[in-house]
């Protein structure tokens, strides 16, 4: 006896499946419990799915099983794909947010270091190269940084030679 049950099952798509078949000879019914599962359990929502339970006679199962489960399985596979895509985008967004947070923290640290250097106005000439280097580095991270611009102007003001002309 040749059947094409498993070939038909394979045509439904690529996903893991839990399949349980229960035969009730007293009533002449077969119950098939069918639960598609994603390959990667990326989202807890996919764990909440309940199996699709179908009960019918053997003849009805033979003729209607795959037609009956086709649309629910397609919808479920779409759900799996959407969940996986969502989790990938969420991970990317989290990484991007962390990068932005790290950038902001580094910028604030650089600004604080520069503020500390220019706070003692009596040492502006002495620290001119260091202040200028830090201000240029800060402008490299944020071209319009007001603290860096002010520091460069302060160094320029305190180091220019007067009375040459």
User: Does 32 score more than 90 pLDDT?
Assistant: yes
| Residue 127 falls inside a structural domain | yes
* Domain boundaries, position 138: 100-159
Domain endpoint, select from 62, 88, 114: 88
Domain stop point among 27, 59, 88: 88
pLDDT at 100: 94
Q: For residues 152 and 132, is the Cβ–Cβ distance under 8 A? A: yes
Same domain, 75 and 16: yes
Domain assignment of residue 94, yes or no = no
Last residue of a domain, one of 67, 88, 109: 88
SS3 20: strand
Q: Do residue 84 and residue 104 come from a single domain?
A: no
Q: Which segment of 44-48, 80-84, 104-108 scores lowest on mean pLDDT? A: 44-48
In whole angstroms, give the CA distance from residue 148 to residue 143: 9
Determine the length of the chain.
165
Mark whether 70 and 140 lie in a shared domain.
no
pLDDT at 161: 59
User: Residue written as tokens 């394979």?
Assistant: 10
Asked if 82 and 13 sit in the same domain, the reply is yes
**Whether residue 83 is found in the same domain as residue 122:** no
Residues 60 and 104 grouped into a single domain: no
Q: Is 37 in contact with 77 (CB distance < 8 Å)?
A: no
Domain shared by 33 and 59, yes or no: yes
Q: How far apart are CA 41 and CA 123, in angstroms?
A: 61
Mean pLDDT, rounded, for 37-49? 75
Query: Which 3 state secondary structure label does DSSP give 57?
Result: coil
Copy the structure tokens of residue 66: 């795959």
For 122-154, the pLDDT digits (tens) are: 888 888 888 888 888 888 888 899 989 988 888
Query: Both 47 and 73 in a single domain?
Result: yes
């Amino acid at each position: 006896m040749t059947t094409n049950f498993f070939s038909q099952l394979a045509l439904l798509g690529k996903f893991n499946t839990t399949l349980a078949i229960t035969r009730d000879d007293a009533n002449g019914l077969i119950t098939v419990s069918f639960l598609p599962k994603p390959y990667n359990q990326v989202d807890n929502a996919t764990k909440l799915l309940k199996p699709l339970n179908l009960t019918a006679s053997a003849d009805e199962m033979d003729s209607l099983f795959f037609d009956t489960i086709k649309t629910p399985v397609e919808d479920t596979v779409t759900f799996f794909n959407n969940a996986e895509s969502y989790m990938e985008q969420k991970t990317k967004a989290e990484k991007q947010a962390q990068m932005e947070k790290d950038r902001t923290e580094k910028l604030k640290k650089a600004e604080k270091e520069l503020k500390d250097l220019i706070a003692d106005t009596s040492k502006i000439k002495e620290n001119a190269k260091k202040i200028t280097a830090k201000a240029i580095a800060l402008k490299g991270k944020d071209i319009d940084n007001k603290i860096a611009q002010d520091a460069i102007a302060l160094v320029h003001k305190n180091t220019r030679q007067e009375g040459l002309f």
